[in-house]
A and B are shown apart, each in its own frame.
Chain A
């Protein structure tokens, strides 16, 4: 049956492909061919100057109108037959004999000029973009506030103006058969390890996908473990973070039409560090960093601990807390695990609702949710108020993690922990923690260990992992993705 279906479809596909192939023969760069290529495109503009045999073709909304008017149209209007040759010998006119190139150039927003048998491409791209705005999803208090936007050239300039070095190399790729997104891979030549660069190049070249819209999608195509709950390549919308990753010897990527950039190889700690750590005094930064790691464990285990203690380990409860805890549980009709799952689910829904709704309505949802979850459900005896405190604290802790992708991952893991705690108590939590550590340590990001420098252990690099030591000690910090320096070792 399957085979039959396959056959039918496969044959069908093959037939389609062959037809397409006939059509897909490279069009000649002549006016008629290009015109046929863009048949039924109502938005294309064609201009003709019959006296001097010149035709123009362009998308009006993609070109810089004033410039084209001044430099091209007004001049062509006054041209004679004899002057044409010399006019088109200017460097701004690029002769092309490749039909595909012409099509792509037209799609990118250039003006195509046909003169008898010659085809010229006139660069006039001017795409409307968003202005450079403040970072939306990764706000910080101290430090620069600009964020990447959807225009790749702007993004590139945001990085270039921070890293002023000729050693900053840029590779260009085009990803997506239909979307044809430009991807720039950036690295600093003397800092990044060449074999990692080559590895990333390989992966970029092997991407086969029709359409792609964001860096966060692209990242899932080039990471090693797509099934893991944890993101293995760091993405951010902050150019300052990306520049610091460059100087750490990492490789970064930008993509057109995406306000995000990625950096590889990433470690787990990239996701829990924030630029604020560096902009504040080192003591403050270090403490906040330690709190954040605490928050990671709290958000994963706190609700699970409530479940395991109220289900199995009543002996662990301190004497003074016991009456309160028991009293709050006594009206609840569900076993603790069901109660906790209901609450976590509700909180998750609230968060999702807040994310999807427009801001004005979102606030209302927050208030309603707060009242419903906070007091009404306790008074109704659906949950105990102590659980609400636990759930709220673990929810708050999950928002402490700066990377949104990572905090989502952690929130998903939490459900596994709650289940394990409900079935096996503290033993279950230990097993789940074991699995968590195992899965974290076994991950790699671009062939480098995910939990570096904790595992494999390199204590000399802990100064910028668990804490943030004073900046003078961090200068010349070695890094797993950095090339080894041969001379001037540790000269300060």
Chain B
């Protein structure tokens, strides 16, 4: 009993040294942006936005220049009467220039901070991160939360994945795959997704457009969602095809012949043909078969181009390295120089497209 009393007294009095703030005394940062600094001795320009607790939908900004996220704290604190905290962080943006320099030190700061969860979304800003964060959207004052929701929705509805700290750092540490990040563009009145940034280690080395990104994701993951828009040629005329409710399955087969690897992608796609600008009657089997084979051809050539582009930049967001590594013993994998092997790999793709059903009226 005495021990219990002591314990309770200790519990209540040893907490005296801790400063706790009520939830209404906090500046909870919802979005943060990093840009390469113009200062000579500083490395980063940081922009952070937080909601003013006493007002609905009013946001303020903090600006700081420093060499790391931790060092920016003091400068940020001096700009507000509230306690600056990272626990409600939703999105972290990196300016293009900074992304080309390397962003992992910042990611590491996030990983160290116990109040930042691993599910914070990451994105690369076309131009500067500051521009995007200070965009005043008409109906959505919380820019940080808006970008995060937008990326989430694209992830759920379309084939574009959103990337969080956990996924980025996993890809970064894995030697068989390179990370990617979505890129974001602001038009002063709106914010939109504008392609994907391809990283080598933690440096952005190339980017691909939204339209081309689809072929990358067809190669790298299975999805049960999304829409594919294609242009096919039938009888010398260009026709638009719109596929919805797409289901894909991909298999990567690796063959090793004395030091040359050949990798084969076997991709099965089923989808609904919802939009078609051509004149043929789709209910005929022959027409369907023709459309399917045309789509296969288009996809094959596009994917080949995509893989060639990746090899040219020597980035591997598809995870070919993982597939190759899974086929080798540990020592074999260690003995090859993947950096040199990757650009020489012979890729082949087999696409198998099936139209599941047609639109209501055709």
Q: Which residues of A contact B (CB under 8 A)?
A: 309-315, 317, 319, 322-323, 325-327, 329-330, 332, 335-336, 419-420, 423-425, 428, 431
Given contacts A314-B87, A314-B88, A329-B23, contact A323 B57 (CB under 8 A): yes
Q: Which residues of B contact A (CB under 8 A)?
A: 11-12, 15, 20-24, 26, 28, 30, 51, 53-57, 85, 87-88, 90, 115, 117, 145
Q: Which of A310, A335, A423 contacts B11 (CB 8 A)?
A: A423
Q: In the assembly, what is the distance between CA of A335 and CA of B24, in Å?
A: 10
Report B-chain residues with C-beta under 8 Å of the C-beta of A327. Answer: 53-56
Q: In the assembly, what is the distance between CA of A323 and CA of B56, in Å?
A: 7
- 14 A–B contacts, CB within 8 A, in A order: A314-B26, A314-B88, A319-B30, A319-B88, A322-B88, A323-B56, A326-B24, A327-B53, A329-B24, A330-B54, A335-B22, A423-B15, A424-B11, A425-B20
Report B-chain residues with C-beta under 8 Å of the C-beta of A312. Answer: 20
Report A-chain residues with C-beta under 8 Å of the C-beta of B87. Answer: 313-315
Q: In the assembly, what is the distance between CA of A410 and CA of B85, in Å?
A: 36
Q: In the assembly, what is the distance between CA of A323 and CA of B12, in Å?
A: 31
Q: In the assembly, what is the distance between CA of A323 and CA of B57, in Å?
A: 8
Sorted nearest first, the 8 A-B pairs with minimum C-beta distance are: A315-B87, A329-B24, A330-B24, A330-B54, A310-B23, A326-B53, A423-B15, A314-B23
Distance in Å from the Cβ of A77 to the closest Cβ of chain B?
Answer: 70
Interface secondary structure of A, over-half rule: helix
Q: Residue among A311, A319, A325, A431 with the most chain B CB within 10 A?
A: A319
Seed contacts A319-B30, A326-B23; 15 additional CB < 8 Å A-B pairs: A310-B23, A311-B20, A311-B22, A314-B28, A315-B87, A323-B56, A325-B23, A327-B54, A327-B55, A329-B23, A329-B24, A330-B54, A332-B24, A336-B22, A428-B11
Interface secondary structure of B, over-half rule: loop
Distance in Å from the Cβ of B143 to the closest Cβ of chain A?
Answer: 13
Q: Is the beta-carbon distance between B117 and A315 smaller than 8 angstroms?
A: yes
Report A-chain residues with C-beta under 8 Å of the C-beta of B15. Answer: 423-424
Distance in Å from the Cβ of A94 to the closest Cβ of chain B?
Answer: 53
Q: In the assembly, what is the distance between CA of A309 and CA of B87, in Å?
A: 12
Q: In the assembly, what is the distance between CA of A319 and CA of B88, in Å?
A: 8
Report A-chain residues with C-beta under 8 Å of the C-beta of B115. Answer: 315
Nearest chain B residue, comparing its CB with the CB of A316: B87
Report B-chain residues with C-beta under 8 Å of the C-beta of A323. Answer: 51, 56-57
Report B-chain residues with C-beta under 8 Å of the C-beta of A311. Answer: 20-23
Report A-chain residues with C-beta under 8 Å of the C-beta of B54. Answer: 327, 330
Q: Is the beta-carbon distance between B90 and A319 smaller than 8 angstroms?
A: yes
Report B-chain residues with C-beta under 8 Å of the C-beta of A419. Answer: 12
Report A-chain residues with C-beta under 8 Å of the C-beta of B51. Answer: 322-323, 326
Q: Residue among B23, B57, B90 with the most chain A CB within 10 A?
A: B23
Q: In the assembly, what is the distance between CA of A336 and CA of B12, in Å?
A: 16
Q: Is the beta-carbon distance between B53 and A315 smaller than 8 angstroms?
A: no
Q: Is the beta-carbon distance between B12 and A423 smaller than 8 angstroms?
A: yes
Distance in Å from the Cβ of A23 to the closest Cβ of chain B?
Answer: 43
Q: Is the beta-carbon distance between B23 and A309 smaller than 8 angstroms?
A: yes
Nearest chain B residue, comparing its CB with the CB of A322: B88
Report A-chain residues with C-beta under 8 Å of the C-beta of B57. Answer: 323
Q: In the assembly, what is the distance between CA of A327 and CA of B55, in Å?
A: 7
Q: In the assembly, what is the distance between CA of A327 and CA of B22, in Å?
A: 12
Report A-chain residues with C-beta under 8 Å of the C-beta of B21. Answer: 311
Q: In the assembly, what is the distance between CA of A311 and CA of B12, in Å?
A: 15
Q: Is the beta-carbon distance between A319 and B22 smaller than 8 angstroms?
A: no
Nearest chain A residue, comparing its CB with the CB of B51: A323
Report A-chain residues with C-beta under 8 Å of the C-beta of B117. Answer: 315
Q: In the assembly, what is the distance between CA of A19 and CA of B352, in Å?
A: 112
Report B-chain residues with C-beta under 8 Å of the C-beta of A428. Answer: 11
Q: Is the beta-carbon distance between B22 and A310 smaller than 8 angstroms?
A: yes
Distance in Å from the Cβ of B122 to the closest Cβ of chain A?
Answer: 17
Distance in Å from the Cβ of A156 to the closest Cβ of chain B?
Answer: 41
Nearest chain B residue, comparing its CB with the CB of A435: B4
Q: Residue among A312, A314, A431 with the most chain B CB within 10 A?
A: A314
Q: Residue among B15, B24, B115 with the most chain A CB within 10 A?
A: B24
Q: In the assembly, what is the distance between CA of A329 and CA of B28, in Å?
A: 15
Nearest chain A residue, comparing its CB with the CB of B13: A423
Distance in Å from the Cβ of B173 to the closest Cβ of chain A?
Answer: 25
Nearest chain A residue, comparing its CB with the CB of B15: A423
Report A-chain residues with C-beta under 8 Å of the C-beta of B53. Answer: 326-327, 329-330
Q: Is the beta-carbon distance between B11 and A420 smaller than 8 angstroms?
A: yes
Q: In the assembly, what is the distance between CA of A424 and CA of B51, in Å?
A: 26
Distance in Å from the Cβ of B290 to the closest Cβ of chain A?
Answer: 49
Nearest chain A residue, comparing its CB with the CB of B90: A319
Q: In the assembly, what is the distance between CA of A233 and CA of B215, in Å?
A: 71
Report A-chain residues with C-beta under 8 Å of the C-beta of B30. Answer: 319
Report B-chain residues with C-beta under 8 Å of the C-beta of A329. Answer: 22-24, 53
Report B-chain residues with C-beta under 8 Å of the C-beta of A424. Answer: 11, 15
Q: Residue among A309, A311, A322, A335 with the most chain B CB within 10 A?
A: A322
Nearest chain A residue, comparing its CB with the CB of B16: A423
Distance in Å from the Cβ of B196 to the closest Cβ of chain A?
Answer: 25
